[in-house]
């Protein structure tokens, strides 16, 4: 396995003209230490696991030294934040160090989040705090394990350097990996500046590197927009099905590759509440859980508008017109699988009625589906743990009769259905209170073992892990007090 020194860099983005970024230099932090790492993410770079604890590695991922071949840049982008266009955002604290080509031929961009000020920092300090870094690290890797497209997290490096938010906290850097961090907002900035050639060159770059099969088509820009639309629809279906709320779906946080990007005040549903708002700063609920598919659609219209100079307004709108149908179909398919039902027939009303029951009875979303995996069509005692989740038992019983009839109609074998359902209904998700325990131990006691435990647990979210059964439970009462906002 290669060592750190033998990483091969191939910095595609840095070869673009400086229109798209600024060359930067990470600001060193004192006495960095490793907080946690993801062995799976290390393998993406073909790195031997022992490399992560080497001093050289920690210093590099703290931004204290660069390796030969690294070329640090901060990308320029703009974006619609809470519906309003902000003409210049950009990497205010993230720095792209370079792109590593692994043995499999994959390119992985290596980015430090929290590496210090850049020309796009505006009033910010360019830093990230340990608390939010732990959340991003754990959630990126958990999403990947759930099969949801996402940027990855290699590790967190901490430093005792103070960082001031509402309170004094300490600094941390997350090393993120992705094929590309280009966002919808990366295109918007050139559209609003009327820089059509810059827009075209960026689109050509993304097409050539990430959508090569589309680059050769008759209308490559329209094809790219169509594909981004399709991927975004698929991503939204996955978020909704698993109960993930992003919290800040601004167009600068929307990936051109359809990845989950920029973890901030995200949250997973506990009790099912369609209007769940995970971001404490989102008082209007613009990014509430049930708004996400529509917000994504709105964001796609902003991308289409930004690309319109390259392909005409009509072609752009045609390219995104399938979104509602693509989302609908993807969502229906994923939800039907969660219920163990085949799409069609009674499936949609059964699912909608179940979701309504969950909302009315404040039933935990993840626990419901996991217990549903054991549903017994003969309505035996095996259904008691599921039934116990509902205050309104009569309403549940009435639904269960219809559900059992639908399952019998499919002639499915209980055991087979149960196995298939278990593969799509996770037992373990990154609930806020679980992350909070790990954060408290790390911040108050320098004890990083809970982060590692959660990381390992969430790497296998669909497996029974009896020794960690309590991690699948509903949140304790104190969890209600957790507030997550944009401050990170
Ligand atoms: P976010 O809400 O993390 O997606 O960030 C929105 C914008 O604010 C991006 O341009 C970030 O780079 C920038 N930003 C967020 N936090 C900081 C910070 N502490 N220092 C500088 N820029 C920041
Ligand atoms: Mg962002």
Confidence of residue 485 (pLDDT cuts 50, 70, 90): confident
Encode pLDDT of 369-408 as tens digits: 999 999 998 877 889 999 999 999 999 999 999 999 999 9
Ligand 1 close to Cβ of residue 89 (< 6 A): yes
Q: Flag whether pLDDT at 488 surpasses 90.
A: no
- 95-136: pLDDT as tens digits: 999 999 999 999 999 999 999 999 999 999 999 999 999 999
Taking residue 40's Cβ as centre, other Cβ atoms within 10 Å add up to 14
pLDDT attached to residue 482: 87
pLDDT score for 1 = 63
Task: Please write the tens of the pLDDT for every residue from 252-295.
Answer: 999 999 999 999 999 999 999 999 999 999 999 999 999 999 99
What is the rounded average pLDDT of the residues 10-37? 97
Q: Among the atoms of ligand 1, which is closest to the Cα of residue 262?
A: 4
Task: Please report which confidence band the pLDDT of residue 480 belongs to, taking 50, 70 and 90 as the band edges.
Answer: confident
Mutate to test the pocket of ligand 1, among 74, 84, 96, 124 (most ligand atoms within 8 A of CB): 124
273 lines ligand 1 (CB under 6 A): no
pLDDT of residue 46: 96
Give the gyration radius of the chain's Cα atoms.
23
Q: Which ligand is nearest to the CA of 261?
A: 2
**pLDDT over 90 percentage in the chain:** 93
Out of 3-7, 134-138, 448-452, 480-484, pick the least confident.
480-484
Which residue is listed with tokens 């359902």? 421
Give the whole-angstrom CA distance, residue 332 versus residue 328. Answer: 6
The pLDDT tens digits for 340-352 are: 999 888 999 999 9
pLDDT at 412: 79
Domain boundaries of the chain, sorted by first residue: 4-181, 185-240+283-333, 340-422
93 lines ligand 1 (CB under 6 A): yes
Tell me how far apart the alpha carbons of residues 248 and 128 are, in angstroms, rounded to a whole number: 17
Query: Can you tell me the mean pLDDT for 6-17?
Result: 94
Region 80-88: mean pLDDT is 96
pLDDT confidence of residue 382: 84
Query: What integer pLDDT is reported at residue 484 of this predicted model?
Result: 86
Average pLDDT rounded to a whole number, residues 185-209 = 98
Percent of the chain residues past pLDDT 70, beyond the cut: 100
Q: For atom 11 of ligand 1, which residue has the closest CA? A: 92
Per the prediction, the chain carries an average pLDDT of 96
Burial class of 194 by CB neighbour count within 10 A (0 to 12, 13 to 18, 19+): exposed
The mean pLDDT of 305-331, rounded to a whole number, is: 96
Residue 280 φ/ψ, nearest 5 degrees: -60, -25
Confidence of residue 312 (pLDDT cuts 50, 70, 90): confident
pLDDT score of 400: 96
* Eight-state DSSP code of residue 244: E
CA of 400 to the centre of ligand 2 (A): 43
185 lines ligand 1 (CB under 6 A): no
- CA dist 281 and 210 (Å) reads 34
* pLDDT higher than threshold 90 for residue 328: yes
Please give the helix or strand (H or E) that residue 368 lies within, else none.
helix 365-372
262 lines ligand 1 (CB under 6 A): yes
pLDDT at residue 486 is higher than 90: no
- Per the annotation, the verdict on 364 as an active-site residue is no
pLDDT at 469 over 80: yes
Mean pLDDT on 347-358: 98
- State in Å, rounded, how far the first CA of the chain is from the last one: 35
Give the Å distance between the CA of 482 and the centre of ligand 1. Answer: 22
Residue 168 has a pLDDT of 96
Cα(80) to centroid of ligand 1, in Å? Answer: 14
* pTM flag (> 0.85): yes
Residue 151, pLDDT > 80, answer: yes
Q: What is the C-alpha separation between 288 and 398, in angstroms, rounded?
A: 30
Give the active site residue among 252, 262, 282, 364. Answer: 252
Task: Enter the DSSP assignment of 474.
Answer: P
* Nearest-atom index, ligand 1, CA of 128: 19
pLDDT above 90 (res 317): yes
């Amino acid at each position: 396995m290669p060592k750190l020194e033998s990483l091969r860099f191939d910095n595609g983005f840095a070869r673009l003209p400086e229109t798209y970024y600024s060359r930067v230099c990470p600001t060193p932090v004192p006495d960095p230490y490793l907080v946690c790492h993801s062995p799976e993410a290390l393998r993406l770079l073909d790195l031997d696991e022992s490399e992560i604890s080497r001093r050289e590695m920690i210093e590099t991922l703290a931004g204290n030294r660069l390796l030969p071949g690294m070329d640090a840049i901060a990308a320029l982008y703009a974006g619609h934040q809470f519906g309003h266009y902000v003409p210049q955002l950009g990497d205010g604290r993230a720095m792209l160090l370079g792109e590593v080509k692994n043995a499999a031929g994959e390119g992985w961009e290596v980015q430090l989040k929290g590496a210090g000020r850049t020309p796009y920092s505006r009033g910010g300090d360019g830093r990230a705090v340990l608390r939010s870094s732990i959340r991003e690290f754990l959630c990126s890797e958990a999403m990947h394990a759930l099969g949801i497209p996402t940027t990855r997290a290699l590790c967190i490096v901490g430093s005792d350097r103070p960082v001031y938010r509402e309170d004094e906290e300490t600094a941390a850097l997350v090393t993120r990996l992705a094929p590309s961090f280009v966002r919808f907002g990366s295109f918007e900035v050139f559209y609003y500046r009327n820089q059509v050639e810059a827009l075209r060159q960026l689109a050509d770059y993304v097409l050539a590197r990430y959508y090569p099969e589309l680059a050769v088509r008759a209308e490559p820009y329209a094809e790219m927009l169509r594909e981004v639309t399709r991927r975004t629809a698929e991503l939204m279906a996955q978020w909704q099905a698993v109960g993930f709320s992003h919290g800040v779906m601004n167009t600068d946080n929307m990936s051109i590759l359809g990845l989950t990007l920029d973890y901030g005040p995200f949250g997973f549903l506990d009790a099912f509440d369609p209007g769940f708002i995970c971001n404490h700063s989102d008082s209007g609920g613009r990014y509430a859980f049930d708004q996400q598919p529509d917000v994504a659609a709105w964001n796609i219209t902003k991308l289409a508008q930004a690309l319109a100079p390259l392909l005409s307004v009509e072609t752009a709108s045609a390219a995104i017109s399938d979104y509602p149908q693509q989302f609908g179909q993807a969502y229906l398919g994923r939800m039907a699988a969660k219920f163990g039902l085949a799409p069609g027939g009674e499936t949609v009303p059964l699912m909608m009625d179940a979701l309504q029951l969950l909302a009315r009875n404040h039933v935990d979303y993840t626990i419901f589906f996991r217990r549903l995996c054991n549903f017994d069509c003969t309505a035996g005692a095996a259904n008691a743990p599921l039934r116990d989740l509902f205050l309104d038992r009569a309403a549940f019983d009435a639904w269960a009769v219809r559900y059992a009839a639908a399952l019998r109609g499919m002639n499915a074998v209980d055991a087979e259905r149960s196995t298939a359902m278990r593969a799509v209904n996770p037992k373990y998700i990154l609930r806020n209170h679980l992350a909070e325990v790990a954060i408290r131990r790390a911040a108050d006691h320098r004890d990083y073992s809970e982060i590692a435990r959660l990381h390992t647990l969430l790497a296998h979210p669909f497996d029974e892990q009896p020794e960690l059964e309590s991690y699948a439970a509903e949140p304790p009462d104190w969890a209600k007090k957790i507030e997550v906002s944009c401050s990170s």
